[in-house]
A = this chain, B = another copy of it.
Amino acid sequence: MKKKDPAIDRLFHALGDPTRRAILDRLGHAPTSATRLAEWLGVTVTAVGQHLQILEDAGLVSTEKLGRVRTCSIHHAGFDRLEQWIRDHRTSWERRLERLADLLAESDKD
């Protein structure tokens, strides 16, 4: 039953947390450092680091360390994958609705 897709797992798990979505909101506006994110969110830098790891693994954020400061920005890949997932599932039930419509049309003939 389980066609396990670790990438999708990581993606949805990453998006499942409000704090991480808040980070995405912020980064969508402009790239920032981990410390700034921490101050803004009201949590420790350590916590932010952990979130960033997860977001990066999910392909939603990319980070680069210059000197001692790690700058984070939005990354496309994750959003693309998410959009693809929706498209797949949407077409899935849309096809089902079509079949249903066909069946109804069929039964009208009786």
Interface of A is mostly: helix
Instruction: Report if A69 contacts B (CB, 8 A).
Output: no
- Please give the count of copies of this chain that the complex contains: 2
Within 8 A of B (CB), among A1-28: 1-2, 4, 8-9, 12-13, 15-16, 18, 21-22, 24-25, 27-28
Known: A1-B42, A12-B16, A25-B89. 20 other contacts (CB 8 A): A1-B41, A2-B18, A2-B22, A4-B18, A9-B18, A12-B15, A13-B16, A15-B15, A15-B16, A16-B16, A24-B89, A28-B89, A28-B92, A28-B93, A29-B96, A30-B96, A74-B96, A79-B86, A83-B83, A83-B86
